[in-house]
């Protein structure tokens, strides 16, 4: 993959595909991690005298303009972090975008409006996507792919534009890929993966692949209840994907055959309802009352998971252990995060909710070897899938 050092950017207009998909509460950015992670590449281009045109998506507006998903607040935050103004274009490839990029001087930065306001960005029709990609490419002379969190998407800005312009990978993409390569090629053992989050259906591919690679697989969060049910336990009103029970039984069998230590919760916090102040008790994972739902792993499980992590040499963690947004049910996620911080293993937090949890629970970010910006992207990489955005950069 070519890097920034392979591009001569001085005095040239460079389109940077970043991942600035941050959580918003109204117009307030509640976690600016992805914006911060995008700054170094943009700063490098600024320092080298490029005219920097940043493009990105926010949320899933599905091809329609919806001000709720405007990148305007992101332009303001990016400007603060860069310490310079970021011009904001009110459209993606229209009049505003064209005049905004034309007025850029060397070292100046502009941000285009949300790519996903344009139906061409995500279109499955190669011609429609290609047409939009051509308009985007016309805004610049060079392309830098730095939106790691979106490299698993076959979208115009990720997959098609690099075919139209001389291109390179930005520093964030290079760093993320280096970490993932380390996890897949020769992880030091024991290699332990911790998976959580609501749905097992989102992680079928990655579980299947990890069972051939890891020494231990610890499962918590909402998806654990489908595993407990597959073992024949009642899970009350906990999250359950009944249509995945056969798959999950298959995973349990395969783990046993391969000698992978697949570790499930032994106790849970069982609540009377899904609420931050819900009345709850610690119960055995094999005895969840019919009218309760599990919202976090219990204290014995936290200890068990910590002990399974204690001698690890490599750890990948994706997905919270419980409803960490509610303080009362954040203890399991905190316990896993703390076990990683305490460990001197190579520890990787895989994007999305787990990265948000690390910041929300105010854990030291430097206590981890790497906190990824890409949830879905890192899972698909570990699944062994070809990522369209990386393939396009390698060409
Ligand atoms: C993410 O938030 O995982 C990335 O920004 C990609 O967003 P998407 O899942 O909506 O494609
Ligand atoms: Mg550590």
Interval between CA 290 and ligand 1 midpoint (Å): 35
Catalytic residue flag (residue 199): yes
DSSP per-residue codes, 246-268: HHHHHHHHHHHHHT-EEE--SEE
Contacts of 186 (CB under 8 A, 6+ apart): none
Report which bound ligand comes closest to the CA of 347: 2
Strands 293-297 and 267-271: antiparallel
Closest CA to ligand 1's atom 9: 376
What string of pLDDT tens digits covers the 395 residues of the chain? 999 999 999 999 999 999 999 999 999 999 999 999 999 999 999 999 999 999 999 999 999 999 999 999 999 999 999 999 999 999 999 999 999 999 999 999 999 999 999 999 999 999 999 999 999 999 999 999 999 999 999 999 999 999 999 999 999 999 999 999 999 998 999 999 999 999 999 899 999 999 999 999 999 999 999 999 999 999 999 999 999 999 999 999 999 999 999 999 999 999 999 999 999 999 999 999 999 999 999 999 999 999 999 999 999 999 999 999 999 999 999 999 999 999 999 999 997 889 989 998 999 999 999 999 999 999 999 999 999 999 999 98
**What's the pLDDT score for residue 351?**
79
**What's the pLDDT score for residue 352?**
82
Q: Which tokens sit at 103?
A: 């007025």
Whole-angstrom distance, CA of residue 67 vs CA of residue 61: 9
Q: For residue 281, give the nearest of 290, 264, 293 by alpha carbon.
A: 293
Whole-angstrom distance, CA of residue 285 vs CA of residue 312: 25
Ligand 1 nearest-atom number relative to CA 147: 5
**What's the pLDDT score for residue 101?**
98
Closest CA to ligand 1's atom 6: 150
**What's the pLDDT score for residue 286?**
96
Task: Select which of 147, 351, 352, 389 is catalytic.
Answer: 352
Task: Select which of 197, 222, 351, 376 is catalytic.
Answer: 376
Whole-angstrom distance, CA of residue 280 vs CA of residue 267: 13
Residue from 376, 377, 380 to probe ligand 1 pocket by mutation (most atoms less than 8 Å from CB): 376
Interval between CA 315 and ligand 2 midpoint (Å): 10
Closest CA to ligand 1's atom 1: 149
* Residue 58 dihedral angles phi and psi, to the nearest 5°: -140, 120
Tally Cβ neighbours within 10 Å of residue 203.
20
**What's the pLDDT score for residue 259?**
97
Instruction: Respond yes or no on whether the N-terminal peptide bond of residue 124 is cis (omega within 30° of 0).
Output: no
Interval between CA 387 and ligand 1 midpoint (Å): 14
Catalytic residue flag (residue 12): no
Question: pTM here?
Answer: 0.93
Catalytic residue flag (residue 352): yes
Task: Select which of 17, 34, 216, 292 is catalytic.
Answer: 34
Catalytic residue flag (residue 34): yes
**What's the pLDDT score for residue 121?**
98
**What's the pLDDT score for residue 395?**
86
- What letter would DSSP give residue 77? H
Q: Which residues line ligand 1 (CB under 6 A)?
A: 19, 21, 60, 149-150, 153, 352, 375-376
Residue from 18, 21, 22, 319 to probe ligand 1 pocket by mutation (most atoms less than 8 Å from CB): 21
Whole-angstrom distance, CA of residue 371 vs CA of residue 349: 5
Ligand 1 nearest-atom number relative to CA 153: 11
């Amino acid at each position: 993959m070519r890097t920034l050092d392979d591009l001569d950017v001085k005095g040239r207009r460079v389109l940077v595909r970043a991942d600035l998909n941050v959580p918003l509460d109204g117009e307030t950015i509640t976690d600016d991690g992805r914006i911060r992670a995008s700054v170094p590449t943009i700063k490098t281009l600024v320092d080298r005298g490029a005219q920097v045109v940043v493009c990105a998506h926010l949320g899933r507006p599905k091809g329609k303009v919806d001000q709720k998903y405007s990148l305007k607040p992101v332009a303001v935050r990016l400007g603060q972090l860069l310490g310079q103004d970021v011009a904001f274009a009110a459209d993606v490839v229209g009049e505003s975008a064209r005049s905004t990029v034309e007025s850029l001087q060397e070292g100046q930065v502009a941000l285009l409006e949300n790519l996903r306001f344009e139906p061409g960005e995500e279109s499955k029709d190669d011609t429609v996507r290609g047409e939009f990609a051509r308009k985007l490419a016309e805004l610049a002379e060079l392309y830098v792919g730095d939106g790691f969190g979106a490299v698993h998407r076959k979208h115009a800005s990720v997959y098609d534009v690099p075919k139209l312009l001389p291109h390179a990978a930005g520093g964030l993409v290079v760093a993320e890929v280096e970490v993932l390569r380390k996890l897949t090629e020769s992880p030091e053992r024991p290699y332990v993966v911790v998976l959580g989050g609501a749905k097992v259906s989102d992680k079928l591919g990655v579980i299947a692949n990890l069972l051939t690679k890891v020494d231990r697989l610890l499962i918590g969060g909402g998806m654990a209840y489908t595993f407990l049910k597959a073992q024949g336990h009642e899970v009350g009103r906990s999250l359950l994907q009944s249509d995945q029970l056969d798959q999950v039984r298959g995973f349990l069998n395969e783990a046993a055959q391969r000698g992978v230590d697949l570790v499930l919760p032994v106790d849970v916090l069982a609540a009377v309802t899904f609420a931050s102040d819900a009345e709850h008790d610690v119960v055995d994972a094999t005895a969840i009352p019919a009218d309760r739902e599990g919202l976090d792993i219990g204290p014995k499980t936290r200890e068990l998971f910590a002990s399974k992590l204690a001698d690890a040499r490599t750890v990948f963690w994706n997905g919270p252990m419980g409803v960490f947004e509610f303080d009362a049910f954040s203890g399991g996620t905190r316990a896993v995060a703390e076990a990683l911080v305490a460990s001197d293993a190579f520890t990787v937090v895989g994007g999305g909710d787990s990265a948000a949890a690390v910041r929300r629970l105010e854990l030291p970010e430097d206590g981890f070897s790497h906190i990824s910006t890409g949830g879905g992207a890192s899972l698909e990489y570990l699944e062994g899938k070809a990522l369209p955005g990386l393939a396009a950069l390698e060409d």
